[in-house]
Amino acid sequence: MERAKIREIVSKMTLEEKARMCSGSDFWHTEEIERVGIPASMVSDGPHGLRKQDMEGDHLGVNDSIVAVCFPAGCATAASFDTELVGKMGQALGESAQAEDLSVVLGPAVNIKRSPLCGRNFEYYSEDPYLAGKIAAAYINGVQSKNVGTSIKHYLGNNQETRRLTVDAKIDERTLREIYLPAFEEAVKEAKPWTVMASYNKINGEHTSESRKFLTDILRDEWGFDGYVMSDWGAVCNRVEGIRAGLDLEMPSSKGVRDKQIVEAVQKGELDEALVDLAVENILNIVFRYKESKDASAVFDRKAQHEFSGEIAKQCIVLLKNDGILPIAFEEKQAGKVAFIGKYAKTPRFQGGGSSHITCFDVTGAIQAAEDMGFKDKIVYAQGYDDKEDKTDEALLAEAVETAKAADVAVIFAGLPDAFESEAYDRQHMRMPDCQNRLIEEVAKVQPNVIVVLHNGSPVEMPWIDKVKGIVESYLGGENIGLAQMEVLSGRFNPCGKLPETFPLKLADNPSFLNFPGEGNVVEYREGIFVGYRYYDTKEMEVLFPFGHGLSYTEFAYANLKVSKDSLSDTDTLTVSVDVTNSGKVAGSEIVQLYVADPVSDVIRPVKELKGFAKVTLEPGETKTATFTLDKRAFAYYETKINDWYAESGEYEILVGASSRDIRCRAKVKLTASKKLPVFYTIDSTFCDVMKDEHAKSLMGPIIEAGRMEEVNTTQGEGLGSAAEEMNEAMLAFAPIRNCLSFGNGSMDEAKLQAIVDKMNQR
């Protein structure tokens, strides 16, 4: 419906009706106002599946929801680095939502993985905002291609569950712009989500649900968002301030309490009714967009989507370690017995707890998948542990050890239980259950050929890493994860996933370790822009597995890195290409990663940042060219002096490789900034800073003449040789220009000095 017609409807509504429209009618529906032809519409949880609740609603997954298909969670889909694949998953979800008459799917969740402990990391994509933004945009485009909306969340700074309703996240502007805003920015600009969900927390003392800066100035005015902003469930504090800031819809229903507050504020002249009109207009824009594009023919084909879930999951699995143990030759006649050990081999953990928890159509574990593939006679099983509590069952352990000892290979299916990671609380440590770690240790004592298959939503410590030959990261791969695991273990599918996050050796290595989850209701993001690999790689710290890491059953060679130009302006684009060859014996896909480095910068920057990725599928011996396009933003940092992105003049490195620690090709380019940063000089400005500026330098003659700095420096370093020269140079370079008054010949006074400084500032 055209905006003009929507405004006409709004003009016919009473103030009370408009206030009602600004909150839900119940837990999941927007208001219906039959008098003016406004229908109700329903929203539903569902980043990786529909959690539609036909009966009593809740936001923690307690009450029953419809039977649906659970696709891989965000932690897994990001590991695919495959925007086309994620787009197809979005299309499937959109089709399901149409069939279930849902106007908006509440997702994707794109908050940055600041700490491995965040209880909701399994829903989030990455520690890297570029990757998170690209995956989110693909998901949104997929869902909305079926004329169903999405609600990108949780905007903004919701990077922990501890005190999430009250915590105040202290984040500086540059860190916000470079780390925590870009994933939302990319998705809003490139995919135009129908709605945005405001988070619970405060940022720098202000609730995000009451922040005009974030909800209007940045979201709408800078990025061009044209849908409605809804609150997270129960995130509203001051409803009137929310209206002023740009929070259109409160969820769930306030039972009329806050509707009355809106009405009273307007009647008292404390709230402009035009802002209420605008909020209603934004909501109706989406309500009618869905209703007018309703697809009555849409079908929720759960069986087909279950199969598709497995196809997605295998693209997301990451092969972390392989000392010649994988793939397992299940199909060869001489293949020996393979012990499948661990509860998750039969009943896998494949989704997280809380609002995204799906009532599944079907669940396929590795044991079932192996039987379906005809490998039943090759496999023996032992449960090994129970995940209801972290306590070793000695009988189960003994059975597992004996089973492993009698087999040729032992595959241990382990990971984090539901109780270890969920919405509403954070993890307390980065360990797997002690009973599972002990199981792996004991099996490794009697069986040299051990493979660990992990089920987890975020990194875990691996004290047994040197005692096993293979590690397969499944993440939380959806209800058909068993099929995906068996296809990878058997070699029917060559793994191609890459880690969307760094696995540190231990929790204490994480840059947020000393400031997570904060003190009381305040958490300070003191690590700034150094999140994830930006920290580990810059510090040259040893990690368990680096960002972007993932092995294959074949090998890939990189060659012929080319850049379209050696020199460019910040208004130009740069094309980068690299040839990738499958130099192994089996077909496979490689995720090619492009990083940009600014090795000589006037500001503190990470050693490298991801600015492009491409998935290349190759037959043995085949070569393809991966091509990337870089613009100013790929080279820029956020400069708070100008409140904008700025790319310094200078030399940059283009790094292409298989992970952040496996760079295969390098090239250098020179970039020239089209504008210089504004500079303001004072008498405290240093000689070295002033002499960098040609205009200011041209005015320095009288100051240098008056300062007699050469005479001073000569006498201070007598007898010290080269060290004296360095000391003198440093003293002069970092001395304030006012020193010409203290060590000068008397030809300069403060008035003359200030006059010169004033000329420096006149351009």
Q: What angle do CA 70, 43, 313 make, to 5 degrees?
A: 20
Read off the tokens for 48. 């990786």
Helices 302-316 and 481-490: angle between axes, nearest 10 degrees: 40
Determine which of 57-66, 122-131, 463-472, 711-720 has the lowest per-residue pLDDT on average: 711-720
- How far CA 349 is from CA of 304, 338, 364, 467, 718, in Å, comes to 21, 21, 11, 24, 73
pLDDT at 639 (0 to 100): 98
Q: How many CA atoms are closer than 13 Å to the CA of 468, on its beta-carbon side?
A: 27
| Helix, strand, coil percentages for the chain (3-state, nearest 5) | 35, 20, 45
| Fold for the domain defined by 304-538 | Rossmann fold (3.40.50)
The CA distance from 527 to 535, in Å, is 8
Percent of the residues in the chain that have a pLDDT greater than 70, as a whole number: 97
Positions of CATH 2.60.40.10 in the chain: 556-672
* Residue given tokens 């995000």 in the structure block: 208
Indicate the pLDDT class of residue 715, thresholds 50, 70 and 90. Answer: very low
What letter does residue 418 receive in the DSSP assignment?
Answer: G
The 3-state secondary structure of 477-492, one letter per residue: CCCCHHHHHHHHHHCC
* Backbone φ/ψ region at 623: left (φ over 0), alpha (ψ -120 to 50), beta: beta
Indicate the pLDDT class of residue 58, thresholds 50, 70 and 90. Answer: low
Bond preceding residue 182 cis, omega within 30 of 0: no
The CA distance from 496 to 488, in Å, is 10
pLDDT at 732 (0 to 100): 83
The CA distance from 618 to 612, in Å, is 19
Read off the tokens for 33. 């106002």
**pLDDT above 90: residue 724:** no
Positions of CATH 3.20.20.300 in the chain: 3-291
pLDDT at 721 (0 to 100): 60
| Residues sharing a CB contact under 8 Å with residue 405, sequence separation 6 or more, in sequence order | 446, 447
Helical (H) or strand (E) element with 672: strand 662-672
- What does CATH list as the number for 3-291? 3.20.20.300
The CA distance from 122 to 142, in Å, is 21
Strand partners, 318: 473
pLDDT at 333 (0 to 100): 72
Bridge pairing between strands 637-639 and 409-415:
unpaired
Residue of 82, 128, 168, 232 marked active site? 232
Bridge pairing between strands 644-646 and 637-639:
antiparallel
* Residue given tokens 């810059």 in the structure block: 538
pLDDT tens across 181-216, in order? 999 999 999 999 999 999 999 999 999 999 999 999
Q: Is residue 486 within 8 Å of residue 369, measured between CB atoms?
A: yes
Indicate the pLDDT class of residue 716, thresholds 50, 70 and 90. Answer: very low
Mean pLDDT of 154-158: 98
The CA distance from 358 to 51, in Å, is 6
SS3 state at 203: strand
SS3 state at 313: helix
**pLDDT above 80: residue 286:** yes
The CA distance from 334 to 545, in Å, is 34
How many CB atoms are closer than 10 A to CB 591?
A: 22
The CA distance from 245 to 419, in Å, is 37
pLDDT at 479 (0 to 100): 98
The CA distance from 12 to 161, in Å, is 42
Strand partners, 33: 38
pLDDT at 61 (0 to 100): 59
Q: Which of 182, 211, 185 is nearest to 198 (CA)?
A: 211
Bond preceding residue 252 cis, omega within 30 of 0: yes
Read off the tokens for 233. 């469930």
| Residues sharing a CB contact under 8 Å with residue 225, sequence separation 6 or more, in sequence order | 188, 192, 193, 196, 219
pLDDT at 713 (0 to 100): 42
Q: Is residue 157 within 8 Å of residue 112, measured between CB atoms?
A: no
| Residues sharing a CB contact under 8 Å with residue 615, sequence separation 6 or more, in sequence order | 80, 81, 82, 84, 496, 589, 590, 591, 592
pLDDT at 104 (0 to 100): 98
How buried is residue 466: exposed, middle or buried, by Cβ count under 10 Å (0-12/13-18/19+)? exposed
More confident residue, 720 or 545: 545
- How far CA 736 is from CA of 684, 739, 762, in Å, comes to 5, 6, 20
Q: Is residue 379 within 8 Å of residue 370, measured between CB atoms?
A: yes
Catalytic residue status for 566: no
Positions of CATH 3.40.50.1700 in the chain: 304-538
pLDDT at 708 (0 to 100): 62
pLDDT at 726 (0 to 100): 81
* Backbone φ/ψ region at 426: left (φ over 0), alpha (ψ -120 to 50), beta: beta
Average pLDDT over the chain, rounded to whole?
95
Q: Which of 217, 469, 196, 218 is nearest to 326 (CA)?
A: 469
Helical H segments across 674-749, by residue range: 687-691, 694-697, 701-707, 709-716, 722-733, 739-742
**pLDDT above 90: residue 353:** no
pLDDT tens across 607-632, in order? 999 999 999 999 999 999 999 999 99
pLDDT at 710 (0 to 100): 44
Q: Which CATH superfamily is domain 556-672 in?
A: Immunoglobulins (2.60.40.10)
Instruction: Write down the pTM of the prediction.
Output: 0.96
Bridge pairing between strands 522-524 and 470-473:
unpaired
Number of helices and strands (H, E) in the chain? 25, 27
Indicate the pLDDT class of residue 60, thresholds 50, 70 and 90. Answer: low
pLDDT tens across 416-430, in order? 999 999 999 999 999
Residue 725's identity, in one-letter code, is: E
pLDDT at 477 (0 to 100): 98
Mean pLDDT of 44-66: 80
Indicate the pLDDT class of residue 763, thresholds 50, 70 and 90. Answer: confident
What letter does residue 214 receive in the DSSP assignment?
Answer: I
The CA distance from 157 to 175, in Å, is 11
Indicate the pLDDT class of residue 278, thresholds 50, 70 and 90. Answer: very high
The CA distance from 341 to 382, in Å, is 5
